[in-house]
Each structure stands twice: as structure tokens, then as C-alpha cells.
């Protein structure tokens, strides 16, 4: 970045052609070294749905890499894992494979994470019948996000996964999760501000309505970001340069978060002096990080 801004991305799937869903330790080390040069101070690798044993393997790798890199210099740090693609609503899968979605209960989660529970920082839930899992996650200080959902109730959520995407739109005739999250003074929202996932005018409106201290900008970047690849396979689908499949469904962003906040400043959507708080201070407060 052009100035010394600390950027933390709590929702990123990869970049430089590296996919966190199948990355090994060497892949992570390569990513973290390059990401540091690109302006990323720290990340929460986001995982999409898979069979439980493979999810556990992925969490174990993240845990091992975090332990290895915590005291290293000149490398992007890992805060913990963002478990996005496991407990979602089959009616709002986005690009993800709904065959891997599980019922959001405590036993499924424990079976999934085993001894890597401590590396999980955020879990997205899309199903309505979720009290068992929500209560357990809160007892472990793991952030509960609602997303990829048809729910219109935000009670018990700590945050919202990529607001506006993979959920019902704002309506003038019914309550929606989007509307409730915008007006709620306590809940945090993730926001993909690449101007593709959310149009510029709605970004501007969000920044006017929502308490800025409760907005966390994310990239939702996929492996195509910072790569020269023409396409990748992501969630079992072929995804092309613009970050979309052959049906035009967005799989994620092809921009890293430092580039997103530079673009917000350049286009007059949000000054960098403001956005730098949304990519660092808000994350530190939300996850109660020691920095």
C-alpha cells in the first residue's frame, strides 16, 4: 500500500492461485509471504464446505501454520479460521456446494473440529434451527455470523457474513436480515466493498446508515486474486477471471482488501482515513485481539 496501513481481512479464500480449501503448509507459507508484500497484516482463512474429515485436516494445517509463523517477521499473520461453508441454508448456497451443508448443532461442530476448535474464530450459520450450536459457540468465544440464509431474525448473531450477498434483499414490505443488520446498533457486518458484490450507491448508503464502528470490510477474495490465471476450480465449479462461473454467479472477489480500500478512496465512496479503521481497529475490537 502507498502508506503504512494495517489491514486485517477476516474473510478471504486465497489468492496468487492458492486456494485455502486445498492448500498445504508450503502453499500457506507462499501465500503469507506474498500477502505481506501486498499489504495484508493478518487474515482469517475462510473455508468452504467439505466432508468433516477434510475440514478437520484444513483446520489442522491452519493451526500448524499459525504456530509456525506467529513469531516470524515480514509475513502476514494468521488470526484463526473462518468456517464459512458448513452450516448454511441450502436455499442460499451462493457458489458453494450444498451437498456438504450440515445441521447446525453442537455435535456436528465438535465432530468437525476435534482438537482444532481453538483455531476457529468465526462460524457462519444459515439455518433457523440453530440454538444448540449458537449457544455452544458463544460459550467458546467463537463469533456467530448469520449468512447464506433466508432468516430475517438477527437475534443471537454477533455479525453478518458479507451483508447483502446470499440473503434476501431489503424490501419495503417485509423485515429482512439486511435491514435489521443495518439498523441494529450492536451487530457487526462484513461488507465486500469491491463495487461488484455491492453497488457503489448501496455502499454509500450503508456507510451513512450503519455505525462505522460496526462495519468490517472484507475481500472474500478467491484464488484468482493477484494471479494471472484465466480460471480456477472453486467449490467444484469453473470460475473465470471476473470471479464468476459460467452462469454469472459471483464466487468471490478478485481484489485484495488493500486494493479495495484504495479504490474506495479513489472513487470517492469512502476516504482512506475512514476505511483504514474498518479494516483494522474494528477487527481488533471485534475479535478482541492483542496487537
pLDDT tens, 35-54?
Answer: 999 999 999 999 999 999 99
**pLDDT in the model for residue 1:** 41
Q: Contact 245/40 with Cβ under 8 angstroms?
A: no
Q: With a cut of 90, say whether residue 22 has pLDDT above it.
A: yes
**pLDDT in the model for residue 3:** 55
Q: With a cut of 70, say whether residue 7 has pLDDT above it.
A: yes
The domains located in the chain, with CATH, are 8-287 (3.20.20.140)
Average pLDDT value for residue range 117-135:
97
Average pLDDT value for residue range 153-165:
96
Average pLDDT value for residue range 174-182:
95
Place 269 in a pLDDT band, splitting at 50, 70 and 90. Answer: very high
Q: With a cut of 90, say whether residue 291 has pLDDT above it.
A: no
For the chain, give the mean pLDDT.
Answer: 96
Q: With a cut of 50, say whether residue 2 has pLDDT above it.
A: no
Share of the chain above pLDDT 70, in %: 99
**pLDDT in the model for residue 4:** 77
Place 152 in a pLDDT band, splitting at 50, 70 and 90. Answer: very high
Lowest mean pLDDT, pick from 18-22, 51-55, 98-102, 168-172: 168-172
pLDDT tens, 73-106?
Answer: 999 999 999 999 999 999 999 999 999 999 999 9
> Which long-range CB contacts under 8 A does 229-232 form with residues at least 24 apart?
229/17, 232/17, 232/19
Average pLDDT value for residue range 168-186:
94
Amino acid at each position: 500500500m502507498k502508506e503504512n496501513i494495517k489491514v486485517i481481512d477476516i474473510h478471504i479464500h486465497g489468492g496468487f492461485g492458492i486456494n485455502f480449501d486445498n492448500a498445504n503448509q508450503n502453499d500457506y507459507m507462499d501465500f503469507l509471504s506474498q500477502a505481506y508484500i501486498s499489504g495484508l497484516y493478518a487474515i482469517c482463512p475462510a473455508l468452504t464446505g467439505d466432508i468433516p474429515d477434510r475440514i478437520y485436516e484444513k483446520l489442522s494445517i491452519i493451526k500448524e501454520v499459525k504456530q509456525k509463523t506467529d513469531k516470524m517477521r515480514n509475513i502476514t499473520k494468521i488470526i484463526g479460521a473462518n468456517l464459512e461453508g458448513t452450516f448454511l441454508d441450502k436455499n442460499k448456497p451462493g457458489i458453494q456446494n450444498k451437498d456438504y451443508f450440515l445441521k447446525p448443532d453442537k455435535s456436528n461442530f465438535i465432530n468437525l473440529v476435534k482438537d482444532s476448535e481453538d483455531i476457529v474464530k468465526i462460524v457462519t450459520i444459515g439455518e433457523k434451527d440453530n440454538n444448540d450450536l449458537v449457544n455452544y459457540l458463544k460459550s467458546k468465544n467463537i463469533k456467530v455470523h448469520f449468512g447464506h440464509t433466508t432468516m430475517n431474525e438477527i437475534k443471537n448473531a454477533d455479525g453478518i457474513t458479507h451483508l447483502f450477498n446470499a440473503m434476501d434483499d431489503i424490501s419495503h414490505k417485509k423485515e429482512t436480515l439486511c435491514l435489521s443488520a443495518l439498523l441494529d446498533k450492536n451487530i457487526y457486518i462484513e461488507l465486500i466493498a469491491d463495487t461488484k458484490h455491492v453497488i457503489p450507491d448501496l455502499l454509500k448508503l450503508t456507510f451513512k446508515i450503519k455505525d462505522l464502528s460496526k462495519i468490517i470490510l472484507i475481500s472474500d477474495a478467491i484464488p484468482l486474486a493477484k494471479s494471472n490465471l484465466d480460471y480456477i476450480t472453486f467449490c467444484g465449479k469453473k470460475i473465470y477471471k471476473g470471479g464468476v462461473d459460467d452462469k454469472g454467479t459471483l464466487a468471490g472477489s478478485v481484489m485484495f482488501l488493500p486494493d479495495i480500500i484504495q479504490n474506495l478512496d479513489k472513487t470517492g465512496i469512502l476516504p482512506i482515513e475512514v476505511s483504514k479503521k474498518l479494516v483494522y481497529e474494528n477487527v481488533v475490537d471485534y475479535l478482541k485481539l492483542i496487537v
